[in-house]
């Protein structure tokens, strides 16, 4: 597939006529949650059926929404203070908009299977860390909108809010009921601090003697190329009826059923363990689960930034393979429940105490090529990604880009809109057939 770039421009924020111009020298320092998360580019891809939205409307909407979400129009820079703390300079630098065309049909490459081809539908993740949009028109009239954003600026929840607001701005509507809110003063440490949970070895760790700097992009440009090429991404489609079936099976004898997320993740955890063929039943397998702190810290509506920590359910390979699905689902449920408001506040106190800097601690959110025997999951099941409407209706398809990190899962609502779920699962090629065999079994 050859992608022909037609134009590339920097879209600056626009402001209502007569409105005062904001301060373009303001620097917003990173919060403790911004600092502890992955510093990487994330890319997502939308597909719109023909005739699709107008590029002109998309560009005007982008300029307007950047005027409200100024963090996405700024640049990641050290602060002016002596400590040079990282943050975002609100200088209205803008976001790059690339227009391109492909002399092929969208159905020829997507959405059937995530592959390296989809990397051509958004700008290179190895470039400058910034917000970039690529509009790719296909011969069939379909339009692909590839969006890349710096995870150090905003998490998935915040990014989905931005995207919905962008669509509203493209339709000439207000960006949303709640303007974006930054973290300044919202989550202060307690005085005196009360660190009641262990954070060393969880969000932070001591640097290894031979540690290397992390790579710039998740699943790209790091690790052994031969190993990367042996990883394929399988899209598992779980119908609404299948999910209901395994959910009922896992929840037998339980007063309250497990959630859809807990059930699907437990099922994929067991399936991956079986497909990997791990031989030691006493080996521990752990999942890193993103947990949204907004309801736990009572963040105001429209909070924009990172507000995520992680839960780490773990059990042995033998338990996953031999015990009922309920065991894995309960481990997930209990671990997420432990990451409550008290845990988040304890983290704020610890991260603000100076211990991280004094002890030279590093974050555990580092990029790897292979997670086996562990997993990591990003669940987008509750994010309003399908509500993006530039004026021609909702997208016909939505997916994460191609991230060949073995064991890194993405759970997204199916484009069918019937309650089914798609799981994007990177596996070693030699484990793929086994994964498919176990994937749709309720045993």
**Separation of alpha carbons 421 and 383, rounded Å:** 13
- Of 149, 152, 138, nearest to 65 by C-alpha is 149
**Separation of alpha carbons 384 and 382, rounded Å:** 7
- Fold for 230-382+394-440, please state it: Chloramphenicol Acetyltransferase (3.30.559)
The residue assigned the tokens 């949303």 is 176
Tell me which residues are annotated as active site: 151, 389
Write out pLDDT tens, residues 109-135.
765 567 888 888 887 766 555 668 999
pLDDT category, 219, cuts 50, 70, 90?
A: very low
Q: Which CATH number fits domain 3-171: 3.40.50.720, 3.30.559.10, 3.40.50.2300, 3.10.20.340?
A: 3.30.559.10
**Separation of alpha carbons 376 and 312, rounded Å:** 9
- Predicted confidence at residue 82, as pLDDT, reads 53
Average pLDDT over residues 66-84: 83
- Predicted confidence at residue 129, as pLDDT, reads 53
Do 156 and 380 contact (CB within 8 A), yes or no? yes
- Predicted confidence at residue 221, as pLDDT, reads 39
> How many alpha carbons lie under 13 Å from residue 158 in its C-beta half-sphere?
29
Domain residue ranges of the chain, discontinuous segments joined by +: 3-171, 230-382+394-440
Write out pLDDT tens, residues 338-351.
999 999 999 999 99
- Predicted confidence at residue 24, as pLDDT, reads 94
- Predicted confidence at residue 228, as pLDDT, reads 46
Strand order in the sheet with 3-11: 3-11, 95-102, 132-138, 143-150, 41-48, 397-400
- Predicted confidence at residue 123, as pLDDT, reads 78
Average pLDDT over residues 71-88: 80
> Which CA distances in Å does 78 have to 6, 129, 216, 237, 366?
34, 14, 17, 43, 21
What kind and span of H or E run contains 274? helix 260-276
Q: Estimate to the nearest angstrom the gap between the alpha carbon of 247 and the chain centroid.
A: 25
- Is the pLDDT score of 34 beyond 70? yes
Does 3-171 match 230-382+394-440 in CATH topology?
A: yes
- Judged by average pLDDT, the poorest of 181-185, 228-232, 390-394 is 228-232
The sign of the dihedral angle between the CA atoms of 113, 114, 115, 118 is positive
**Separation of alpha carbons 350 and 354, rounded Å:** 8
The sign of the dihedral angle between the CA atoms of 161, 167, 168, 172 is positive
Write out pLDDT tens, residues 134-166.
999 999 999 999 999 888 899 999 999 999 999
Write out pLDDT tens, residues 372-403.
999 999 999 999 888 999 999 999 988 899 98
pLDDT category, 31, cuts 50, 70, 90?
A: very high
Average pLDDT over residues 267-273: 97
pLDDT category, 176, cuts 50, 70, 90?
A: confident
Radius of gyration, CA atoms only, the chain: 22
Q: Which residues contact 24 (CB under 8 A, 6 or more apart)?
A: 90, 91, 92
């Amino acid at each position: 597939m050859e992608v022909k770039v037609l134009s590339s421009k920097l879209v600056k924020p626009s402001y209502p006529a007569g409105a005062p111009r904001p301060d373009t020298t303001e620097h917003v320092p990173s919060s403790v949650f911004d600092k502890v998360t992955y510093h990487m580019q994330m890319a997502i891809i939308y597909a719109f059926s023909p005739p699709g939205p107008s590029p002109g409307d998309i560009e005007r909407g982008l300029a307007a929404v950047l005027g409200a979400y100024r963090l996405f129009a700024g640049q990641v820079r050290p602060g002016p203070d002596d400590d040079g703390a990282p943050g975002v300079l609100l200088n209205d630098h803008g976001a790059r908009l690339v227009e391109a065309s492909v002399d092929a049909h969208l159905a020829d490459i997507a959405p059937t299977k995530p592959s390296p081809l989809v990397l051509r539908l958004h700008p290179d993740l190895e470039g400058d860390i910034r917000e970039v949009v690529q509009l790719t028109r296909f011969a069939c009239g379909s339009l692909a909108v590839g969006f890349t954003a710096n995870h150090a600026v905003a998490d998935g929840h915040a990014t989905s809010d931005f995207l919905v607001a962008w669509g509203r701005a493209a339709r000439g509507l207000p960006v949303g009921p709640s303007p974006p809110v930054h973290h300044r003063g919202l989550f202060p440490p307690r005085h005196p601090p009360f660190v009641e949970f262990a954070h060393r070895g969880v969000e932070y760790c001591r640097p290894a003697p031979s540690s290397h700097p992390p790579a710039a992009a998740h699943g790209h440009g790091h690790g052994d190329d031969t190993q990367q090429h042996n990883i394929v991404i399988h899209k598992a489609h779980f119908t609404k009826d299948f999910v209901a079936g395994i959910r009922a099976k896992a929840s037998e004898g339980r007063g309250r059923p497990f959630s859809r997320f807990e059930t699907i993740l437990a099922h994929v955890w067991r399936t991956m363990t079986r497909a990997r063929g791990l031989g030691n039943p006493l080996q521990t397998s752990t999942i890193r689960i993103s947990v949204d702190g907004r309801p736990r810290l009572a963040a105001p509506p429209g909070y924009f930034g990172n507000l995520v920590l992680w839960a780490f359910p773990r059990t042995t390979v033998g338990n996953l393979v031999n015990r009922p699905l309920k065991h894995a689902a309960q481990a997930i449920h209990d671990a997420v429940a432990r990451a409550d408001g008290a845990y988040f506040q304890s983290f704020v106190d610890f991260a603000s105490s100076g211990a991280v800097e004094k002890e030279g601690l590093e974050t555990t959110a580092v990029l790897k090529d292979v997670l086996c025997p562990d997993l990591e999951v990003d669940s987008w099941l509750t994010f309003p990604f399908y509500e993006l409407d530039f004026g021609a209706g909702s997208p016909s398809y939505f997916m994460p880009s191609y991230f060949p990190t073995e064991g890194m899962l993405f759970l997204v609502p199916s484009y069918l809109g019937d309650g089914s779920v798609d799981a994007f699962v990177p596996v070693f090629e030699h484990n793929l057939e086994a994964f498919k065999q176990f994937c749709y079994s309720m045993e």
